[in-house]
């Protein structure tokens, strides 16, 4: 079973049919979307609540090192603080580079073959 292979308790599978958190998840989702607008996905980050702005994102495909993480965060905060900033987006250029997806550290950074803004179809 996937949970056991990941070193997690098999009992967690029971949560699939557990509706006890549904109302809370809906409430929090509605609250987040009220800050961004309904045309976004998740994750949503709320900067400097309760009055600060909220954005969809950021979405990154790999874990940055400590210095890069701090730099990325500083840039996000800078964009969030600019009153006219609305959106910055492009499609993923690589599959998620996470050990949980079976990617080992030696293959991090492997980019997919992109052409014209779309993944190139494998032949």
Kindly report the CA angle at 107 between 101 and 110, in degrees rounded to 5?
A: 95
- pTM for the whole thing? 0.64
Q: Which residues contact 84 (CB under 8 A, 6 or more apart)?
A: none
Cβ atoms of residues 46 and 32 within 8 Å: yes
Q: How far apart are CA 84 and CA 35, in angstroms?
A: 15
Q: How confident is the model at residue 32, as a pLDDT?
A: 93
Cβ atoms of residues 94 and 61 within 8 Å: yes
Q: How confident is the model at residue 68, as a pLDDT?
A: 94
Q: Which of 23, 68, 20, 60 is nearest to 43 (CA)?
A: 60
What is the full DSSP assignment across 81-123?
Answer: HSTT--------SS--B-GGGT--GGGTTPPP-EETTEEPPP-
Q: How far apart are CA 30 and CA 56, in angstroms?
A: 14
Mean pLDDT, each 10-residue run in order, the chain (123 residues): 86 91 94 92 90 89 90 94 87 75 67 62 57
Integer angstrom CA distances of residue 76 from 16, 41, 46: 34, 17, 11
């Amino acid at each position: 079973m996937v949970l056991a292979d990941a070193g997690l308790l098999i009992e967690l599978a029971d949560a699939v049919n557990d509706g006890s958190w549904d109302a809370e998840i809906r409430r929090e989702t509605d609250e987040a979307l009220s800050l961004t607008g309904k045309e976004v996905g998740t994750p949503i980050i709320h900067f400097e609540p309760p009055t600060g702005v909220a954005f969809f994102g950021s979405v990154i495909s790999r874990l940055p090192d400590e210095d890069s993480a701090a730099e990325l965060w500083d840039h996000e905060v800078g964009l969030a603080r600019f009153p006219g900033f609305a959106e910055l987006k492009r499609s993923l250029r690589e599959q998620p580079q996470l050990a949980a997806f079976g990617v080992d550290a030696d293959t991090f950074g492997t980019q997919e073959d992109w052409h014209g803004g779309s993944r190139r179809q494998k032949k």
